[in-house]
Every structure is written in C-alpha cells, then in structure tokens.
C-alpha cells in the first residue's frame, strides 16, 4: 500500500525543480498526478519520466497559472484524465528581487500575479472538484521569505506572506463549512532548484555562492527538493487528516534564529 493510494493530484509548476520532484514522489506512493506548467514541453517531460516508472499514472498540461481559462482547462483535463482531483499543490511561482527604491510596478505585479493571484484563481475554481472527491488536501508552497523579511526581496516577501495567510483563511472556511478539505502551507529555505540560481550568482557563483547561502542556515546545507517533497507528501496524505491551517517550515532551522 502506498501512502497516496487513491489520491489524484494536480501539481502546478511541474516542469522542473520542486514540482517535478513532487510528481515523482507522489507517483512512487501510489498517486495519479497531473503535471501542469507554462512550459508545456517541460511538463510533458516530467510526466513521461513518471510514466516510465509508473505507466499511465501521469498526465501533462500546458498551464499559465495567471490565466483563468488555462485553470479551467487544466482542472477539467486533469479531472477527466485521473477520475477526479482530491489533492491540489499550488507550487508554481517566481522569485523577484528588488527593494522599496528599486522595485518596479511591472515586476511587483508580475510577482503577485504568479505567486498569489494564481492560487486564489486556481483554488476557487478547484473547490467543486475537491468537494466532490473529498477527503481532499490543498498544499500551497510559500517560503521562509513569507515568514522573515529581506530588504532586497520586497515583492517576494509580500507574495509569500500572502500565500501563508491565504492558506489559513481557506482552511478555516472549509472547516467551518463542513467540507472535508484541508489547506496548509509549506515554507522552504534555499533549496537546490533553479529558483535559487540568481542568489547563488549574487554570492559569486558556484561553491562560493552556495556557501554564502548555507552559512545562514543552522544545519549548514541547502535544502534538497526531496526535503520539501516529504513535507508535501505528508500533507497530501491521510496521515495529516487532523492538520489544517498549519505552516510547515522546511528551513534547516533558519526561522528559529
């Protein structure tokens, strides 16, 4: 028996990094997975890799998470392919760097649209699917940047803090409405995925750039995608059936300082 037997998960931002890792881990534990990404070829590649190990378990969709029409198509397609949706992992996101003096309205809006608005749009549209296939779980990927601030990550701090609070509000609504739908957020620290490449470059690149990041983390290493994946897998599973409106920090201890 897999930990996710019977689960049907839509994972956004699944072309690479965390999303691709989640898809592999979910399928290994028995779930069907619908992988979506604005990079349609990348989503197809992730699904193909999963299907090599677990034939017929993975499906791919090109999906701009800022588009209501794309959300409708992805949800309809995923539900048809898998037989429903009872896990939604809102993972798609971008990193934006800038302070109150250098941030532009264009980059500010782009960050909010991809990192925040997409979760509002997608979760609202997903509610009928989740209610029909309950018990269900929503897992929103936030960041430690939603819990602790950085002077040069203004829009990203605001976006990820919004994801944190939105997750709690969704969870409370579902609980009080009597829906068997949980919602939680996950907060990774610097994790070895393409999203940290600009931070490594700012630190001088290569091992030097990584060392400048790891020195900030009590456990003195970067996170690996699987470190985050285990937390997401737990929240998607029935093992976490009494966990909602919570935030799980996968941060090597950085927020305890």
Q: Which residues are part of the catalytic machinery? A: 156
Distance CA 214, CA 233 (A): 25
Sheet holding 58-62, edge to edge: 58-62, 32-37, 8-12, 87-90, 136-141, 181-188, 247-250
Query: What would the DSSP string read from start to end of 208-241?
Result: HHHHHHHTTSTT-S-B-HHHHHHHHHHHHSGGGT
Distance CA 177, CA 18 (A): 32
What does the DSSP 8-state code read for residue 66?
T
CA distances 35 to 57, 63, 253, Å, are 11, 9, 30
Q: Note whether 204 and 241 are within 8 A (CB).
A: no
């Amino acid at each position: 028996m897999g930990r996710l037997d019977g689960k049907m998960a839509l994972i956004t931002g699944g072309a690479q990094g965390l999303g691709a890792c989640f898809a592999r881990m979910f399928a290994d534990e028995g779930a069907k997975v619908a992988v979506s990404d604005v990079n349609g070829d990348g989503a197809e590649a992730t699904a193909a890799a999963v299907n090599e190990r677990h034939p017929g378990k993975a499906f791919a969709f090109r999906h701009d998470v800022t588009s209501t029409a794309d959300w409708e198509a992805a949800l309809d397609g995923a539900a048809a392919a898998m037989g429903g949706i009872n896990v939604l992992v809102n993972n798609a996101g971008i990193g934006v760097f800038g302070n109150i003096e250098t941030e532009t309205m264009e980059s500010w809006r782009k960050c909010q649209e991809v990192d925040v608005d997409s979760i509002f749009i997608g979760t609202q549209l997903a509610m009928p699917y989740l209610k029909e296939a309950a018990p269900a779980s929503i897992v929103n990927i936030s960041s430690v940047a939603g819990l602790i601030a950085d002077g040069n990550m203004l829009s990203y701090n605001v976006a990820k803090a919004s994801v944190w609070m939105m997750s709690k509000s969704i969870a409370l609504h579902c609980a009080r409405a009597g829906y068997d739908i949980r919602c939680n957020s996950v907060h990774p620290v610097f994790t070895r995925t393409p999203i940290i490449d600009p931070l490594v470059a700012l630190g001088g690149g290569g091992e030097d750039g990584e060392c400048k990041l790891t020195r900030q983390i009590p456990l003195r290493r970067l996170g690996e995608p699987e470190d985050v994946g285990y937390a997401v897998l737990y929240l998607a599973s029935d093992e976490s059936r009494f966990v909602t409106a919570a935030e799980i920090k996968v941060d090597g201890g950085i927020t305890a300082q």
